[in-house]
A and B are shown apart, each in its own frame.
Chain A
Amino acid sequence: MSEPKLMKGNEAIAEAAIQAGCRYFFGYPITPQNELPEYMARRLPEVGGVYLQAESEVSAINMVYGAAGAGGRVMTSSSSPGISLMQEGISYLAGAELPCVLVNIVRGGPGLGGIHAAQSDYFQATKGGGHGDYRLLVLAPGSVQETVDLLQEAFDLADKYRNPVMLLGDAVLGQMMEAVRLPRDLDEPLPPPPPPESKVWATTGAVNRSRNVINSLYIEPERLEKHNWHIQEKYRRMEAEEVRYEAVQVDDAGTVVVAYGTTARIARTAVDEARRQGLKAGLFRPISLYPFPYQALREAAGRARRVLVVEMSCGQMLDDVRLAVGERCPVEFYGRPGGNIPTPQEVLDRIAGKGGEAK
């Protein structure tokens, strides 16, 4: 572990990725994640890696496809409109079963939207995003430290499932500075990344073995159906094995607040304050958004009087919460879209039953 360092979320993501073995980064600039590629541009050459600013996001994601197919540890990052441009390539990555890490530092939309923090890409991230029946494994850290901790896992999970993993952050997480401990100090030598040949399916040069093919085209319906059921089986395994969440004081809570990422931090302050005021509130924080922690939330909601979903959107995770909770108790919503950040006081008012159901 390194000494604590004061780092911006975007920079910490970049360094943690490199320490996790990432040696290839392809991207295109967009606020509010620019510190991430900037850091990569400076640091990757120092560790023998490749940084390349592509001519567009479409191009960048296809470079990710190429590097992943060749067995490299590869990553890209962008923000909402840029991630939209990448969707075709992401669908291809999922179809061709290529591991990579995608970082989305979400900003307000739709369209060009704004540059401030939002959580309005939840549907896009968790329900596929591009065409075809596929999922990304989606992780939503709540602090700069958790972002760092999840990155090593993100790369390992991508390799384990041969599937793209998305780290879903937001502009607060990207721009904020917090004290963070990295696995290693910056001047410590890094262990070499896993060699491409360790991925037996990768196109590393067919010497003394049969040819590997990276492809997402299956023109015969029977073969494509079989391929679809094969990748679905991976998603069922993720649903069984990769659910992550944090539950704070939900056991006796009358109101269970459900929030992820930055919003969960704000909700945590509100929940703590509610407890001080004698209101029994708890926080349920999904960390894996896909697979979503349906079962754990269902159990928490079964004991609660009501569930309050808070998002920096008009209500997207809300759908998954409703699926989890069903008729067990009422599900209320408070959201601030467009780059506005709910304040702890606003959330506290909703916990206390003031201020109506939604903004």
Chain B
Amino acid sequence: MRHEVIMAGFGGQGMMLAGQLLAYAGMLEGKYVSWYPSYGPEMRGGTANCTVVVADEPVASPVVSRASAVIAMNRPSLERFEGTLAPGGVLVYNSTLIEQGPTRTDIKAVPVPANALADELGDKRVANMVVLGALLAVTGVAKPESVVASLRKTLPERRQNLIPLNEQALAKGAEAAQGAAAKA
């Protein structure tokens, strides 16, 4: 098993953090993991992305030629990374901000209205957890429980109260992904 996931969005949409949580969750499940960020002149409003590898074998290259899954939180991310998906790969995209889906037909496209669903939960900031939940549901990279366990381990004491909200966001994303899959 080897998952190579690229997660991309505007700076501030939480893709770097979501990627770290995915890597952490994989580690807790005893997998080999790597997390590699784009970095440098990125800022709020610019684009940011990271590559997460979760595998049964030691991760050789942390740099990926062909992704098995992509999360695109905005239009520029979709345009940039659609082409790097392997045939049959999974594209989770934020359909609140991306009206027009991918052009490729040899991939599995999973539209998730991440911002709208986060708004329903009452906190815009969990849109990243919504798409992460969707990714987990479709690809099985890691269990949602492992992501929650990662949050428990990494959040400071005063932020632990946010865990139920994040759990709900993961579940909502999974639900949306299953709905999208049923429609497709």
List A residues at the B interface (Cβ < 8 Å): 4, 6, 31-32, 115-116, 171-172, 175-179, 262, 265-266, 268-270, 272, 341, 343-346
Contacting pair A6 B35 (CB below 8 A):
yes
User: Given the complex, which residues of B lie within 8 Å of A172, measured CB to CB?
Assistant: 36, 62-63
Contacting pair A175 B65 (CB below 8 A):
no
9 contacts between A and B (CB under 8 A): A31-B39, A115-B40, A177-B34, A177-B35, A177-B36, A341-B63, A343-B63, A344-B60, A346-B65
Q: Whole-angstrom distance from the CB of A169 to the nearest CB of chain B?
A: 13
Contacting pair A268 B60 (CB below 8 A):
yes
Q: Whole-angstrom distance from the CB of B65 to the nearest CB of chain A?
A: 4
Contacting pair B61 A265 (CB below 8 A):
yes
Number of A-B contacts (CB under 8 A): 66
Assess A6 versus B27: contact at CB under 8 Å? Given A177-B20, A177-B35, A179-B32. yes
Which residues from 112 to 165 on chain B have a C-beta closer than 8 Å to any C-beta of chain A? none
A177 to B62, CA, bound (A): 10
Q: Is B102 an interface residue (CB 8 A)?
A: no
Contacting pair A179 B27 (CB below 8 A):
yes
Specify the chain A residue showing the minimal Cβ separation from B19.
A177
Q: Which 3 A-B pairs have CB atoms at the shortest separation, nearest pair first?
A: A268-B60, A269-B61, A177-B35
Q: Which of these, A178, A262, A265, A266, contacts B33 with CB under 8 Å?
A: A178
Q: Is B59 an interface residue (CB 8 A)?
A: yes
Contacting pair B37 A179 (CB below 8 A):
no
Specify the chain A residue showing the minimal Cβ separation from B30.
A4
Contacting pair A268 B61 (CB below 8 A):
yes
A345 to B40, CA, bound (A): 25
Contacting pair A32 B62 (CB below 8 A):
no
Specify the chain B residue showing the minimal Cβ separation from A144.
B34
Q: Whole-angstrom distance from the CB of A263 to the nearest CB of chain B?
A: 9
A177 to B35, CA, bound (A): 5
Assess A32 versus B27: contact at CB under 8 Å? Given A269-B61, A344-B65. no
User: Given the complex, which residues of A lie within 8 Å of B40, measured CB to CB?
Assistant: 31-32, 115-116
User: Given the complex, which residues of A lie within 8 Å of B37, measured CB to CB?
Assistant: 175-176
Contacting pair B65 A343 (CB below 8 A):
yes
Q: Is B66 an interface residue (CB 8 A)?
A: yes
Q: Is B110 an interface residue (CB 8 A)?
A: no
Q: Is B81 an interface residue (CB 8 A)?
A: no
Interface size on B, as a range, is: 20 to 34
A176 to B36, CA, bound (A): 5
A268 to B20, CA, bound (A): 24
Assess A269 versus B35: contact at CB under 8 Å? Given A6-B24, A116-B40, A345-B65. no
List B residues at the A interface (Cβ < 8 Å): 20, 23-24, 27, 32-37, 39-40, 59-66
Contacting pair A177 B60 (CB below 8 A):
no
Q: Whole-angstrom distance from the CB of B30 to the nearest CB of chain A?
A: 9
Q: Whole-angstrom distance from the CB of B157 to the nearest CB of chain A?
A: 15
A31 to B41, CA, bound (A): 10
A265 to B20, CA, bound (A): 21
Specify the chain B residue showing the minimal Cβ separation from A348.
B65
Contacting pair A179 B33 (CB below 8 A):
yes
User: Given the complex, which residues of B lie within 8 Å of A116, measured CB to CB?
Assistant: 40
A272 to B55, CA, bound (A): 15
Specify the chain A residue showing the minimal Cβ separation from B41.
A115
**New A-B pairs, 15, CB < 8 Å, besides A6-B33, A272-B60:** A6-B20, A115-B40, A172-B36, A176-B35, A176-B37, A178-B34, A262-B63, A265-B59, A265-B61, A265-B62, A266-B60, A269-B60, A269-B61, A343-B63, A346-B65
User: Given the complex, which residues of A lie within 8 Å of B39, measured CB to CB?
Assistant: 31-32, 115, 171, 175
Q: Whole-angstrom distance from the CB of A93 to the nearest CB of chain B?
A: 31
Q: Whole-angstrom distance from the CB of A179 to the nearest CB of chain B?
A: 5
A231 to B125, CA, bound (A): 59
Q: Whole-angstrom distance from the CB of B165 to the nearest CB of chain A?
A: 23
A206 to B63, CA, bound (A): 54
Residue with the greatest number of chain A CB neighbours at <10 A, chosen from B24, B59, B60: B60
User: Given the complex, which residues of A lie within 8 Å of B33, measured CB to CB?
Assistant: 6, 178-179
A324 to B36, CA, bound (A): 34
User: Given the complex, which residues of B lie within 8 Å of A341, measured CB to CB?
Assistant: 63
Specify the chain A residue showing the minimal Cβ separation from B63.
A341
Residue with the greatest number of chain B CB neighbours at <10 A, chosen from A171, A179, A266: A179
Contacting pair B20 A344 (CB below 8 A):
no
Contacting pair A345 B66 (CB below 8 A):
yes
Q: Whole-angstrom distance from the CB of A143 to the nearest CB of chain B?
A: 8
Q: Whole-angstrom distance from the CB of B83 to the nearest CB of chain A?
A: 13
Assess A266 versus B61: contact at CB under 8 Å? Given A6-B33, A116-B40, A178-B33. yes
Assess A4 versus B27: contact at CB under 8 Å? Given A175-B37, A178-B33, A179-B33. yes
